[in-house]
Structure 1
Amino acid sequence: MVDMIEPPSLEYLRLLPLLLVFGGACLGVLVEAVLPRRSRWGAQVGLTFLTLVVTAVVTVLGWRAGDVGVSALGSVTVDHPAYFSWTALVVLAALSLLLFTERRLNGGVSAFAPQAAAVPGSVDEELAIRARTEHSEVYPLALFSLFGMMLFVASNDLLILFVALEILSLPLYLMCALARRRRLLSQEAGLKYFLLGALASAFFLYGVAMLFGYAGTFTLAGIDQAVAAGAGSEWLLLAGMAGISVGLLFKVGAVPFHSWTPDVYTGAPTAVTALMAACTKVAAVVALLRVLYVGLGGLRWDWQPLMAAVAVVTMAVGSLLAITQDDVKRMLAYSSVTHAGFMLTAVAGASTGEGARQLSSVGSTLFYLVAYGVASVGAFAVVTLVRDRNGEASRLQDWAGLGRRHPWLAAAFSVFMLSFAGIPLTSGFIAKLGVFESAWSGGYPWVVVVGVVLSLVAAYFYLRVVVTLYFADPQPRSGQGGQAAQAPAGAADATPATGPAADGDGARGGALATEVRTAGAPAAVSSAGEVGVGRASVATYGAVVAAVVVTVVFGLLPGPLLDLALQAGVFLR
């Protein structure tokens, strides 16, 4: 009698949020292949947000039902931290993708390049602009990246963790290089992110090999058992921990693996920067927590001092370098580095037991990720709105006096800056208080003291932006700004990447590009070339308003979200 082969049990219902996002991304690829060019953009937007809404509903229902467990042959763990992270990722991705849909600011076209050309203004690109060709495939790319992030935070197997790392990273490498304006800067950002990301992935894979050599298994629970039994060579174990830490800390943006952050954040399309700043941070930090707590909990006396040192150095470098920046996007990039250090303070103070300290550490970190992510999306949404005749005006001196001309938008940006600084009545204050309490109770009061001092340093450059908005006088603009002031009113804010002043790479646009640039573009600034606020779509303003509301509400009433984060603070082993 032939024995029957039993099929593997994959728990499809439990994995449904992952499958929905992956399915939506695959359908998006089919849309690119099937629908005519002019119909793709609307179809992709509708499909993407439908996927996100359904995924959010299914995730919340599964979380409320308590459907937790190790799934997919032990490679994926669906537990409360995974559900919390999935919900946060979907919500933050939805806010970020609202910025992807913005077309009014660019004269009826998106912020993404119409063609993969190195130099704007070529004949082929001019024809593509006139035909309204757009990179609508950015939506399935974003969904693929989101799928990788969701798999990343729930991976219980080191090989699956590596695959998830690549799935979340590769679409981001592509999207970073697709900016319509500042084309060469954008492509440089994509290339730099790819090369440094590949190097970090190599370290990560090396660490995976070392840990497999030590434990004989890729599962985190199996590695934890091997560590407890002291089964292998300690050098293999330490080398594996170091390699994996490099890969994960690179994604977190911690020092000394942060060098990609300012260049990539500055060069990438601002909508993509918002997606990276919010969602990638959530995925990387939660994956780091899972690996350290579940797989390497027995080595906590080795990795806790390491995380404490990295946290201090990251806070110091990010804060000090942010002070010197005169570009808002670059300042926000170093702000991201600084906040990575604040998050790592809670990681350093964590306990691997299921007591109150672990609940405090993991829960406060999860709350911090949400507070920071929402404020980041809102801040970058405001950056997309502040414009001159060449497009986004990200120089800080160009924002002088903006609070007097556009008080509501300046007030929104000020809320985000105050939240980043950890000022009371914002969610950032509660988040920072939580991670400091975790580090203090975890036995690292010196990290808290350093963190408080560096918080004061960080508050300086955040408040400097607020002072510039309300109290500084606008400075006369020269160079490109002066040339832009002579441009006709119709060319105020259309397709800026097709002209030499907008891109800065010496490209010369032709007649076709000029025709498209001047057709129906909304005037964003005055005839004097003054920096102002572009006429954006409801989606972009909606992202700003939603971010402000969440930041203020969870600063005044943090209880519901904080309780939810604390309840989600125990990893399933």
Structure 2
Amino acid sequence: MIATMPTAAELLPLLPQLVLAGGAFALLLLDLFLDDARRVWTWVLGGALLVVVAWMSAAGIGGQGTVLSGMFVRDHMADVLNAGACLLTALALIYAWPFLKERGLHAGEVVVLMLFAALGMTLLIAAGSLVMVYLGLELMALSTYALVAIDRDNPMASEAAMKYFVLGSLSSGLLLYGMSLLYGATGTLDLAALRAAVEGSQETGLLLTGTVFMIAGIAFKFAAAPFHMWLPDTYHGAPTPITLFLGSAPELASFALAFRLLESGVGPLDEQWRLLLALLAAASLVVGNLVALMQVNLKRMLAYSAVSHIGFVFLGLAGGGEAGYAAAMFYVISYAIMSAAAFGVIVVLSSKGYEADTLDDFRGLNQRSPWLAGMMLCAMFSLAGIPPFLGFWAKLAVLRAVIDGGMLWLAILGIVFAVIGCFYYLRVVKAMYFDDPPEGVPAPRGDRVLRVTLGVNALGLIALGLAWNPIMAWCQQAFM
């Protein structure tokens, strides 16, 4: 059978990705002709491009459908996550510009790398085959490795990038090996055909082995315990805006990776892989919260906090069903917004030679800048799951889903460690409002655009907490 080239009409569902890829290459060329004084245009155009692509995804421009012989599937879930990933990447660009410019790291490659990372996310989110999953994953991963190492003169950043690269390569190898076992057992790379083959197969040994390797790879990408060893050093060593980016947009792509491979690919084996996810969720909740209690560096604390939040995402996935997947998707979107706000305060508070990333740096912040202290309070309360902030409703949704999935013990464990996790978040609030400020601390950054962005980000946690139903309904629609 002779393959035919797809027509332009058949490629319309790919329109957001095509626009993003074309725009990234155009900005790569444009940046060659801009000097440092005009390089801000690379950042402005990059952010505008991401907003346009997010709008195209949210508005359904190009329509939904399956193209490239099933390799690319644009559905409602893909549109929601693509829009979220692009907006969060644009948010990271806004936070990054003044921080990196002050340190002489504002070269255009940061924008281009973030755009290609976002392109990898959108391809991964809409993957319909194992090939597309791996292509999107590696495009995203290779871009983020380079972003972590963008401060080439900083030995801590170089060390973090090397650890991230080595362990990321290991996780990719595990994932690829699991995929190869599934291909060997079923003879197909298409996820829909793979699911049908798994459903009708009597030989489950090879399928289960491949699934275990894939779950190990997914856990590495999510940084779920005990596969989290790369995360604290990466968060600590990378420039804070890059850490902000790593802790937000890629989490949406990681959720899509787990859903596409597990539910869309090996869904009939859900009794087995749901139990594995439940064990990973339990380990992440325990390790993440207990180790975070001992941290005095905020970036490392938020890294271990991220491990515990991944445990909550896995609670929803382990709960299974439409309610569980919708709750996990709602949680990962909520966490990405909360994480961006927390790191955003660190970015605004820092200056050249002063990273503002330790607990002592936040002592007496309310006396120095009540507005910044209020923004950090919003982020900490939401991460802790205190009502009426967005984080409370996200936790409530996944706990309800895991109870409905018949895992009451896991829900109880989640509640216990959510309470324990409140301690290290409230410790930051206590330092800001009840401790005396240290001497010789630089004034917070006065960039108006950055402060407005942070205000929208942090106050949005209250607004979205009061109006979370539309977002949850949007997530539920993706799995109907």
User: Normalised by the shorter chain, which TM-score bucket?
Assistant: over 0.9
Counterpart of 1:22 in structure 2 is: 21
Counterpart of 1:46 in structure 2 is: 44
> Contact between 2:121 and 2:136, CA under 8 Å: does it hold in 1?
yes
Cα-to-partner distance string for 1:405-438 (whole Å, 9 max, x where unaligned) = 2111011101100000000010000100001111
Q: For residues 399 and 318 of structure 1, what CA distance do their matches in structure 2 show?
A: 22
Counterpart of 2:343 in structure 1 is: 380
Residues 463-474 of structure 1 mapped to structure 2, 5 A cutoff? 463-474=426-437
Counterpart of 1:189 in structure 2 is: 160
Structure 1 residue 530, shift from structure 2 partner = 2.4
The more displaced of 50-59 and 387-396 is 387-396
Cα-to-partner distance string for 1:88-111 (whole Å, 9 max, x where unaligned) = 1111111111112215xx7xx344
Counterpart of 1:13 in structure 2 is: 12
Q: 1:45 to 1:561 in 2, by over 3 A?
A: same
Counterpart of 1:229 in structure 2 is: 200
Q: For residues 112 and 302 of structure 1, what CA distance do their matches in structure 2 show?
A: 51
Residue 255 of structure 1 aligns to a residue in which SS?
coil
Counterpart of 2:264 in structure 1 is: 294
Residue 102 of structure 1 aligns to a residue in which SS?
helix
Residue 350 of structure 2 aligns to a residue in which SS?
strand
Normalization by structure 1: what TM-score?
0.80
| Displaced runs of 4 or more, over 4 A | none
State yes or no: 1:325 paired with 2:325.
Answer: no
Q: For residues 196 and 416 of structure 2, what CA distance do their matches in structure 1 show?
A: 40
In structure 2, give the amino acid aligned to 1:384.
Answer: V
Q: For residues 4 and 533 of structure 1, what CA distance do their matches in structure 2 show?
A: 64
Counterpart of 1:312 in structure 2 is: 282
Structure 1 residue 455, shift from structure 2 partner = 0.2
Residue 13 of structure 2 aligns to a residue in which SS?
coil
Q: For residues 70 and 38 of structure 2, what CA distance do their matches in structure 1 show?
A: 39
Structure 1 residue 39, shift from structure 2 partner = 5.6
The more displaced of 187-196 and 172-181 is 172-181
Q: 1:56 to 1:71 in 2, by over 3 A?
A: same
> Higher helix share goes to which structure?
2
Residue 4 of structure 2 aligns to a residue in which SS?
coil
> Contact between 2:364 and 2:437, CA under 8 Å: does it hold in 1?
yes
Cα-to-partner distance string for 1:464-493 (whole Å, 9 max, x where unaligned) = 110111001235xxxxxxxxxxxxxxxxxx
Counterpart of 2:462 in structure 1 is: 552
Q: For residues 376 and 435 of structure 2, what CA distance do their matches in structure 1 show?
A: 16
Q: For residues 323 and 5 of structure 1, what CA distance do their matches in structure 2 show?
A: 58
Counterpart of 1:462 in structure 2 is: 425
> Which residue, 207, 210, 235 being the options, matches 1:240?
210
Counterpart of 1:211 in structure 2 is: 182
Residue 70 of structure 1 aligns to a residue in which SS?
strand
State yes or no: 1:529 paired with 2:443.
Answer: no
The more displaced of 79-88 and 3-12 is 3-12
Residues 155-170 of structure 1 mapped to structure 2, 5 A cutoff? 155-170=127-142
Q: For residues 390 and 200 of structure 2, what CA distance do their matches in structure 1 show?
A: 43
Gaps of 5+ in 2: none
> Which residue, 252, 255, 266 being the options, matches 2:236?
266
Structure 1 residue 440, shift from structure 2 partner = 0.5
Q: For residues 376 and 4 of structure 1, what CA distance do their matches in structure 2 show?
A: 49
State yes or no: 1:61 paired with 2:59.
Answer: yes
Alignment length, in residue pairs? 479
Larger radius of gyration: 1
Q: For residues 129 and 215 of structure 2, what CA distance do their matches in structure 1 show?
A: 15
> Which residue, 386, 400, 406 being the options, matches 1:437?
400
Counterpart of 1:96 in structure 2 is: 92
Q: For residues 421 and 2 of structure 2, what CA distance do their matches in structure 1 show?
A: 64
Structure 1 residue 550, shift from structure 2 partner = 1.8
Counterpart of 1:140 in structure 2 is: 112
Q: For residues 42 and 397 of structure 1, what CA distance do their matches in structure 2 show?
A: 33
Q: For residues 359 and 256 of structure 2, what CA distance do their matches in structure 1 show?
A: 33
Q: 1:415 to 1:180 in 2, by over 3 A?
A: farther
State yes or no: 1:252 paired with 2:246.
Answer: no
In structure 1, give the amino acid aligned to 2:478.
Answer: A
Q: For residues 343 and 28 of structure 2, what CA distance do their matches in structure 1 show?
A: 27
Residue 101 of structure 1 aligns to a residue in which SS?
helix
Residue 73 of structure 2 aligns to a residue in which SS?
strand
> Which residue, 300, 310, 314 being the options, matches 1:344?
314
Q: 1:299 to 1:403 in 2, by over 3 A?
A: same
Structure 1 residue 87, shift from structure 2 partner = 1.0
Q: 1:552 to 1:76 in 2, by over 3 A?
A: same
Structure 1 residue 389, shift from structure 2 partner = 6.7
Counterpart of 1:539 in structure 2 is: 449
Q: For residues 21 and 4 of structure 1, what CA distance do their matches in structure 2 show?
A: 31
Structure 1 residue 370, shift from structure 2 partner = 1.8
> Contact between 1:111 and 1:180, CA under 8 Å: does it hold in 2?
no
Residue 418 of structure 1 aligns to a residue in which SS?
helix
Q: For residues 142 and 396 of structure 1, what CA distance do their matches in structure 2 show?
A: 29
In structure 2, give the amino acid aligned to 1:18.
Answer: Q
Structure 1 residue 290, shift from structure 2 partner = 2.0
Cα-to-partner distance string for 1:201-245 (whole Å, 9 max, x where unaligned) = 1111111110100110011111111111115x4222112112211
> Contact between 1:304 and 1:349, CA under 8 Å: does it hold in 2?
yes
State yes or no: 1:407 paired with 2:373.
Answer: no
Counterpart of 2:471 in structure 1 is: 561
> Contact between 1:8 and 1:73, CA under 8 Å: does it hold in 2?
no
What's the Cα RMSD here?
1.9
> Contact between 1:223 and 1:295, CA under 8 Å: does it hold in 2?
yes
Structure 1 residue 349, shift from structure 2 partner = 0.7
Q: For residues 2 and 167 of structure 2, what CA distance do their matches in structure 1 show?
A: 48
Larger relative contact order (CA 8 Å, sep ≥ 6): 1
Structure 1 residue 37, shift from structure 2 partner = 2.7
Residues 266-285 of structure 1 mapped to structure 2, 5 A cutoff? 266-285=236-255
The more displaced of 8-17 and 553-562 is 8-17
Cα-to-partner distance string for 1:344-389 (whole Å, 9 max, x where unaligned) = 00000103xxxxxx1x212222221221111111111110122367
% of aligned pairs identical?
A: 34
In structure 2, give the amino acid aligned to 1:98.
Answer: I
Q: 1:5 to 1:346 in 2, by over 3 A?
A: closer
Q: For residues 257 and 562 of structure 1, what CA distance do their matches in structure 2 show?
A: 29
In structure 1, give the amino acid aligned to 2:65.
Answer: G
> Contact between 1:427 and 1:551, CA under 8 Å: does it hold in 2?
yes
Residue 77 of structure 1 aligns to a residue in which SS?
strand
Q: For residues 173 and 319 of structure 1, what CA distance do their matches in structure 2 show?
A: 26
Cα-to-partner distance string for 1:176-215 (whole Å, 9 max, x where unaligned) = 012377x100111111111100111111111111010011
Counterpart of 2:170 in structure 1 is: 199
Q: For residues 545 and 242 of structure 1, what CA distance do their matches in structure 2 show?
A: 43
Cα-to-partner distance string for 1:69-88 (whole Å, 9 max, x where unaligned) = 22221001111111110111
In structure 2, give the amino acid aligned to 1:538.
Answer: R
Q: For residues 294 and 355 of structure 2, what CA distance do their matches in structure 1 show?
A: 21
In structure 2, give the amino acid aligned to 1:411.
Answer: G
Structure 1 residue 68, shift from structure 2 partner = 2.3
The more displaced of 14-23 and 142-151 is 14-23
